Structures are given as structure tokens and as C-alpha cells.
Structure 1
Amino acid sequence: MVCTILLVEIIRDKKGKGAGERFLSGSVMPGWVWESYRSIGVFAFGASCQQLTSDFAKYVIGRLRPHFYEVCMPFPVANSSANILGYINDYKCGGNDAAKIQEARLSFPSSHASFSMYCAVFFIFYIQEKGKWRGSKLLRHAIQYAVLIGAWFVGLSRVQDNMHHWSDVAAGFLIGATFASLVFIYVLKPKKYGLPVAWEEPPLPTSTLTVPRAVLSSMGSTR
């Protein structure tokens, strides 16, 4: 995504469609550098937010991954009162790798699906807004579709690899798409989508009255 932003901003600047030069600390900064810095910063901010949201949910919910039994190899604790109803609530893991056992409890939601969908949706919006050329529009839409399919494949591969349930991937897709949409619309491009701005008093109408020539001539004759 970073390479895409740099490439698009450089091309826009060479075609005269960039933001123009900016002044920073008394020095002139090329427009493409400023726009790239701004876009990459917003992208990184949104990526951090969606990642934090996904990781927070993982540790709060603690859903077991599909391969949990293979990693943990659980066995019930004998004579435990928590197991008297037939459900095994008190158990110990026979596996020796504590790190893998802890990781096997972090299934919901899928961080891979969330990040891949975030990148895909942000890319689609960015190219739709700034990646414009006189050629075929279908090429741009084909690139957007390919990126979306790539994110879709990442989510499917997590289910196929027995790392997540399908609902984990669906939740990750939702988180990523939501953050990408909100960050792009409300942080990167606020003016484009008509968000409220500071109220300004409308200018007072100024109208000039024209005096007929007959009146002017009569005024001159009376003098």
C-alpha cells in the first residue's frame, strides 16, 4: 500500500494534479511528498486501530481455535466438581508447548482477515479517488477486484489451514472494512464527502441601482 501511494502521488504531481508545493519550517516541500506523508500516516493510523481492536477482542473472548485439541491434548481432572454435570470444564493440557497452547485460545476474530480486508478496502477507495487516467476504466476496476479477491483468499486460507472458524474470519472482514471506510472518509478525505465545516456568514448582497439617462439629463438641465 505504501508503494502504491508513493507511485500514485508522484504521477499525479508530474501531471499537475497534485496538491502543489508546501512550506514547512521555512523550507519548500514538494507536493507529492506532503500528500504521501499524509496518506501513509492516515493509513498507518487506521491499521493500528483495527489491529488493536482485533487483538483486544481476542484476549477478552478467548475462543478456542479449531486445532486446540491437537495442541493442548486435554484430559479431565479426576473427581472435579466442575465436571459432575457431564461437561468437561476443569481440564489440564497434556501438551508441553505453553506458547502454542496460549495462542490456540485466540481464535476470535481473525487478525489476518481484518488486516487484509482493511488494506484492500483502503486501496480500493484510494485508487478510485486518485488513480484516474484517460484509459479504460475497466482496468482500474479489475485491479480493485483483484485486490479484494486477494483479501478474500487470505480469509479463506485461515479457515482451510484450520486456524480459524468461518465466523472468526467474517468478523475480521467486518472490522477491517469498517475501519478502512471510516478512516478514508472521515480522516483522509473530509472535504470530499461534505462533512460539516465551520459556519460562515453569507456575504451581504450588493446591488447597484442604474439611473436612467433621461433623469440624468433633466438633472443637468435644471442646474
Structure 2
Amino acid sequence: MAVDRLIWKIIVDFVVLACVSFPLLALLLWAEPYHRGYFEDDLSLRLPFKQQSISEGLLAGVGFAFIIFTVLITEIVRDRQGKGIGGKFLSGSLIPGWLWETYSTVGIFTFGAACQQLTANLAKYVIGRLRPHFFDVCRPIPDAGSSQNALGYIQEYRCSGGDEALLKDMRLSFPSAHASFSMYCAIFFIFYIQVKGKWRGSKLLRHGVQYAVVIAAWYVGLSRVVEHMHHWSDVAAGFAIGATYAMLIFIFVLKPKKYGAPETWQQPVPRNTLPRPVLAR
């Protein structure tokens, strides 16, 4: 029965992950973002189009590889130090404790990554904020006969430039999914190393690595502004989404308290327990 429960746990984990991932995939493949209008004198939309230096695939690959490598090495080291969990039987085979912990941690990380990406992308499609390179890509031609354009806010227009993919992507500025995922990875890594990556050597080594990871996530967000892919507020919102999900997933789903019970205070036992009248004799 224990083996059956373990198999069912793995199956349920994949089903839950699929339930979160499918809406995200459907959103990216079939949804159409909200067609927002623009002001002709809006200078924030008149920046030139630039090719992005960090693609979604590159960011996702580096982020997942970094977390998987960190968790794998940490669990192996902890297992050799005698701090890991015991092995588990799966279909008659003994699964090492470090492998099971790696699976659990990476699975929870993946679930959180899917949740924060679904949150960020859903906001993109609902809000439909125009990217800073909107004019350069779209080259809009307002409908002169439309009454909806009479007050200076252009709602009826057609684009004379850009292919279909770019015209869809130019409406997906808020929030920044790059910033959200990069900060999610950074905060999750910081919490994980803080709880499980303990080393008695240099006092500042662990914190130095944590700081470097935050700077890397910070750079990803800044690059989105420099390359005219997002407004600064898009990046700020993305950072907030990623950091919030990382903290919630780590604290309430991964539950770091299971890695070791906190030390409890116990009243010290006095050395001499004889009654006071006896001591007086």
C-alpha cells in the first residue's frame, strides 16, 4: 500500500501541474490580447524596435538548469553528511533520499513557475498594454471617419507594418514575464540556500552568491527596459509577482520547517536535587 500511495502521489503531482500548465499554453497559442488604443503624442510608445538579447527560451533554460543543479548538488551533499531523508520504495525499487528530495523540490519549483507565468501572462492579455516600440512596429493609420477617435484617443486604427507575431506581441507589455520569472528563480534560490545550503566555512560566501543571483535577476529586468520591450512599471510589477510567488511557494508549499525541527528551550536541571532541609544538615 505504501508503494501504491507513492505512485499515486507522483501521478497526482503531474495532473496538478498539467492543470496549471494547460491554461498557460492555451493562452499563448489561442488567446488574443485586448486591443488598447493610444494617444498620438504619447512619447513612451515611440521608441525604436530592438531585438531582445535574452529570449524566453534562453531564460527558462538557464533558470531551470540553475535551480535543478543547485538542488541536486545540495541534496547529494546533505545525504553524504547524514542530513538527508531515508530512501523510499517505488515499485519494489529503493529510491535514494536525495533523489526523492530533488524530485519534490524541483516539482514544487516547477509548479510555482507555472503559476507565476500564468498570472503574468493572463494580465498581459487582459490589459493589452502597448510596448514602447508600438509606433515603430505598428505604424498605425487612424480611421478618420470613426467617432471613437474624435477626442484624441485613437481606438480605431490599423497597422501598416509588422508581421502577425510582432503585432500580437506589441500588445503584451504589462507585466514583464521575463522579470517575473527571473525574480522568482532568484528568491526561490535565496530561500533554499538559506535553509539547506549551510556551510561552516566563510561567513559571507553564501550571502555573496545570493546577492549575485539577485543582481542577475535585476539585470534581466533592466535589459527589458533598455531594449524597449517594456516600460519600467512593467518590470516593477513583474519583479513583485515573481518575488511574491517564490515566497508563497517556498513557505507554504515546500514548507522548509520539515527540514529540521527548531531547537526548543528546556529548563536546566539543577545539579543537586536534594531538598533544602537536607542540605542544611
TM-score normalised by L of structure 1: 0.83
Residue 190 (structure 1) shift: 5.7
C-alpha distance after superposition, 1:165-212 (max 9, x if no partner): 01100000000000000000011116459xxxxxxxxxxxxxxxxxxx
* Aligned counterpart, 1:58: 124
C-alpha distance after superposition, 1:75-119 (max 9, x if no partner): 111222112223322111111412101100000000000000000
- Give, in whole Å, the separation in 1 of the partners of 2:79 and 2:224: 40
- Give, in whole Å, the separation in 2 of the partners of 1:29 and 1:99: 46
* Aligned counterpart, 2:112: 46
Identify the match of residue 236 of structure 2 among 170, 184, 191: 170
- Deviating more after overlay: 60-69 vs 88-97: 88-97
Q: How many residues align?
A: 194
| Residue ranges of structure 1 left out of the alignment (5+ in a row) | 194-223
* Aligned counterpart, 2:153: 87
Secondary structure at 1:54 match in 2: helix
| Residue ranges of structure 2 left out of the alignment (5+ in a row) | 1-66, 260-281
After TM superposition, which residue ranges in structure 1, 4 or more long, deviate above 6 angstroms? Answer: none
Identity, % of aligned positions: 69
* Aligned counterpart, 2:133: 67
- Give, in whole Å, the separation in 2 of the partners of 1:138 and 1:121: 18
Residue 22 (structure 1) shift: 2.0
Residue 60 (structure 1) shift: 0.3
- Give, in whole Å, the separation in 1 of the partners of 2:190 and 2:197: 10
C-alpha distance after superposition, 1:116-172 (max 9, x if no partner): 000000000000001011101200000000000000000000000000001100000
Cα RMSD of the aligned pairs, angstroms, is 1.6
* Aligned counterpart, 1:127: 193
- Give, in whole Å, the separation in 2 of the partners of 1:20 and 1:104: 51
1:150 corresponds to 2:216: yes
- Give, in whole Å, the separation in 2 of the partners of 1:139 and 1:163: 35
Task: Name which one, 1 or 2, has greater alpha-carbon Rg.
Answer: 1
